[in-house]
Structure 1
């Protein structure tokens, strides 16, 4: 009975401690989610006594830290879906993703049959400078043997990553030759920008996967490059971009909007209204602009899309966005963990809050995307207008709505071919990606003659023999693959070609190939008046 009482009291006691800490702590800059310890001056109270009693007197061994984490997480579920507790062991990775970089050697790897294979090497990075190449097999890292002993990806990352400027020794196999390397670790970028290239003579394309500290800088470098190549109009792809740092989205919006126009404002019970406006002449204030979104576009992506839609600056193409209109601040806790707490809502220039409802619980909130799919919202244009929220009018007379994401100006249905049941079998064990690596290494001279992914996409054709080898590879990996029809073969060739391009040019190569024939991009080009 006493144990049950403790279980009931723990969430309440943790709630009290966290709330006290929040009010005694300091606040961050509203969109830079890194903070220090908030609990240095909090006096010892009942919560600590309870945990000490459990630690000292409880009948069985128990992880007090785990109990505390569970209590905090349960408490936060009573607030909103985006207030979260980040355990200390996860915080470094979260902060690295927001910072847009980490410290390491600059390789992508995979483990095949207990052997670590280098898939790609970051151009100009520490491993590239040391001489590593795709296809190398890592045998040892320092004094640790990493081949043939059930090595895990997490352990490899732990061995290869480390402070910038420190050195790590590796032994690799290149063919049958064993070779030693000493690599000086450095900053490794986690790029926000997947691709930037010309779709045709006048139309540029930029795809962003998140909004991190480096996003605006990456965006501007690519925008300037495309303008030098003759870009007059732009397709900005934010599909499946889950957001990040709002300030980065504001800076990018400023490049499209003239004058000191309002871009977004935030407001909460304890956060007075704060407005974000344009501050300087933008680099692309007049060219035609199409912005691509879907149900995976959220938060900072919706800030950018909402501003451009409210000011009639861009045509939004795709499907209704996720609907996250809450602003979080991150606060450091004494044990090295962090609390990311919702402190305000954001509003588009017309005053729209696009946060979708969450009063029915977090599970229902996260299942809402699945419900959209089941109710036909992915293929039915009428389902993509969230008209339950308040209606607003833009200066051009267009109706826009709050309350459930950004509704597109032009709807594009979900491409059901992408979930073809036969082709999807190849994704179960990453058969396409794994075979693409082996095929690329075995036929590398075929690919190095292509200077750019655009040239590769135009000139390279996947052979029937390569597809037959891929099918055999998948079958040997215990997948039951039926005979493919013509449509399935075409689709599989495209997927395989995109993964080959990724081997040589990373994400940009993948998207150059994968975007070929993409319905949303075709629609964007038609809107821009140069569908070629």
Structure 2
């Protein structure tokens, strides 16, 4: 029988090869159909080779030396300019700094600083952080970092950040000058993980009204929000003002998680959809911690993306009153694609839609420049300083889910109550002083020389009750401001209302140095027209007329 084996092989071999050939043809035919509408891998390589070839020729033959990285980045910019305004390329050297604010931490020493007269002044110290533990105080001036002198050499912010940051657990030696004691101090600071807080403030405005301000939606925002919410509820909060002004957005999941704490039942919060992205819905479902109780959400032209998702969900479900000015209108969803060299492409893959079906994104059909100049255009045409000029002819009408109120699409979230930008209040002379670097520089210098006196204030309540802006500080301010703003200073100093606003800004700046952003907003909000109006609405029939007593 073994002699028969070669015969059987000879008989089946042609048939085997025939089957393999037929299968190959069929697979090839199907693969060709599958790839018919897709870019050929070979074509991709060819196109990439063209770019490489051009850059190689330039490097080899061009009359002057050029940066290859710059050539690549310019080429990428040329490609992306044909897309939407929010698709961006992030070079590898910038990716870490762009990403860290959303991740919620970095490695450093836990201070805020201001460059005053070419010297680094510590303006705030993180409580229980590395610098606080080592003995650094607000008002200290940093003279040396390690062996490097950093005072009087024209150092900039980026340079000092590079010197102060480093691996967690590493040691940095600091030489400080403390003006209030007229002494030099040498300290060793052990670097640690420094949180980047996304909540600027959380406190009680009155016995029943809490205030929370969120500056962006990061990986830690929901956790920060819940901690603040629990504290405020224990303090008696029955009504809430949620401040999303100038919040550019961030992580969608953080925004929808907070919306779920405010909106009851299983409800649609937002959905996304794109040409190559299937419709994805985000729903509420868990029992939220603040589903009942009056709610006002503050927004403005700086509120974008995830901020608009949250405010849009609140408005569409008639859960609360939206107050302020029409939001930015950024309703495009980006997905990050990491490149092999450490850079990244954030590509728009879908659009956001509110529960009523509104697209948040405003038009960019007139080009990126017109799109980016929207704020200036709205200021010029009066949309910011009076009632919004966006009319029903510019938009589509939609209806809220619970009360069937009319809301408008066309880009951004239009508030239920429009509060114009107070151009008259900050016009001319007062605006010049508030926006001048002379004002904070004078305050910082005064604080630095009197830091020991300010150390007396251990709580904001104590500071708020006891601290009075003295004549010496006001005299120093007027003298310094008058060098450049003599006319403006004289007018403001003789205008009681303008002077009250200026002094509120001074006190808020000092409160920030002592109690960080929570102290700043507790002080500045006393003179914030939108916050004060929100308080009045929460305690009036105007709230009920819009959404009912508790929202729905």
* TM interval, short-chain normalised: 0.7 to 0.9
Matches within 5 A, 1:205-354: 205-354=211-360
> TM-score, normalised to structure 1's length?
0.88
Among residues 190, 196, 215, which one is paired with 1:190 in the alignment? 196
Matched, 1:498 2:508: yes
Question: Which residue does 2:16 correspond to in 1?
Answer: none
SS class of match (2:394): coil
Among residues 399, 416, 428, which one is paired with 2:406 in the alignment? 399
Question: 1: CA distance between counterparts of 2:293 and 2:115?
Answer: 46
1:24 Cα deviation after fit: 11
> TM-score, normalised to structure 2's length?
0.85
| Contact 2:199–2:212 under 8 Å retained in 1 | yes
Question: Which residue does 1:148 correspond to in 2?
Answer: 152
| Contact 2:273–2:350 under 8 Å retained in 1 | yes
Question: Which residue does 1:441 correspond to in 2?
Answer: 448
In structure 2, do the counterparts of structure 1 residues 386 and 184 end up closer, same or farther at CA, with 3 Å as the change threshold? farther
Stretch deviating more after TM superposition (309-318 or 45-54): 45-54
Give the unaligned 5+ runs of structure 2.
1-37, 542-552
In structure 2, do the counterparts of structure 1 residues 373 and 429 end up closer, same or farther at CA, with 3 Å as the change threshold? closer
Question: Which residue does 2:417 correspond to in 1?
Answer: 410
| Contact 2:138–2:451 under 8 Å retained in 1 | no
* Deviation per residue, 1:257-299 (Å, 9 max, x gap): 1122111110001110111111311010011110001111110
Matched, 1:163 2:167: yes
In structure 2, do the counterparts of structure 1 residues 493 and 135 end up closer, same or farther at CA, with 3 Å as the change threshold? same
| Contact 1:432–1:495 under 8 Å retained in 2 | no
Question: 1: CA distance between counterparts of 2:509 and 2:79?
Answer: 43
SS class of match (1:336): coil
Task: Provide runs of 4+ in structure 1 moved above 6 Å.
Answer: 22-25, 41-44
Matches within 5 A, 1:34-113: 45-113=49-117
In structure 2, do the counterparts of structure 1 residues 465 and 117 end up closer, same or farther at CA, with 3 Å as the change threshold? closer
Matched, 1:514 2:524: yes
1:149 Cα deviation after fit: 2.1
SS class of match (1:419): coil
1:326 Cα deviation after fit: 0.5
Stretch deviating more after TM superposition (332-341 or 191-200): 332-341
* Deviation per residue, 1:500-529 (Å, 9 max, x gap): 111111111111111114221222112211
Question: 1: CA distance between counterparts of 2:438 and 2:111?
Answer: 21
1:458 Cα deviation after fit: 4.5
In structure 2, do the counterparts of structure 1 residues 131 and 214 end up closer, same or farther at CA, with 3 Å as the change threshold? same
Give the unaligned 5+ runs of structure 1.
1-21, 26-40
Question: 2: CA distance between counterparts of 1:186 and 1:455?
Answer: 31
* Deviation per residue, 1:97-129 (Å, 9 max, x gap): 111211111111222233222221111111111
Among residues 525, 529, 537, which one is paired with 1:527 in the alignment? 537
* Deviation per residue, 1:293-335 (Å, 9 max, x gap): 1111110000000001110001001111111110011112222
Report how many residues are paired.
Answer: 494
In structure 2, do the counterparts of structure 1 residues 345 and 496 end up closer, same or farther at CA, with 3 Å as the change threshold? same
- Select the structure that is richer in helix: 2
SS class of match (2:334): strand
Question: 2: CA distance between counterparts of 1:467 and 1:517?
Answer: 19
| Contact 1:356–1:405 under 8 Å retained in 2 | yes
Question: 2: CA distance between counterparts of 1:530 and 1:451?
Answer: 36
Among residues 419, 425, 430, which one is paired with 2:426 in the alignment? 419
1:200 Cα deviation after fit: 0.5
Question: 1: CA distance between counterparts of 2:61 and 2:352?
Answer: 48
SS class of match (1:383): coil
Higher Cα Rg: structure 1 or 2? 2
Question: Which residue does 1:19 correspond to in 2?
Answer: none
| Contact 1:320–1:384 under 8 Å retained in 2 | no
Question: 2: CA distance between counterparts of 1:414 and 1:151?
Answer: 37
1:468 Cα deviation after fit: 2.0
In structure 2, do the counterparts of structure 1 residues 369 and 218 end up closer, same or farther at CA, with 3 Å as the change threshold? same
SS class of match (1:526): helix
> Alpha carbon RMSD of aligned pairs, Å?
2.3
| Contact 1:386–1:404 under 8 Å retained in 2 | no
| Contact 2:139–2:449 under 8 Å retained in 1 | no
* Deviation per residue, 1:121-165 (Å, 9 max, x gap): 111111111111122222221221222222222111111101212
Question: Which residue does 1:432 correspond to in 2?
Answer: 439
